Structure 1
């Protein structure tokens, strides 16, 4: 669910630094935090209590 959400919001889940050949978390960038704040707001205010994923 979370990786799909990040992809739909155009947030890189993992980025790779080409110069140092190191993979980094893409969620720490300010624009990613701002985009994901809506999810934080929904869960902190108990608008979303339980998410069920059925395959």
Structure 2
């Protein structure tokens, strides 16, 4: 499951934080808008380094 506290703004460079949860783990993810074309937003995902 992916949970984000807010929607990603349709603006290049806009960034939000989300959490990805599986059965046994939760990891933070940074989502950054990389391009906007009308109502279509391209984005990049960068997961936090997993500790442990």
TM-score, structure 1 normalization: 0.32
Structure showing greater radius of gyration is 1
Does 1 or 2 have the higher relative contact order (CA < 8 Å, sep 6+)?
Answer: 2
Specify which structure has the higher proportion of strand: 2
Specify which structure has the higher proportion of helix: 1
TM-score, structure 2 normalization: 0.33
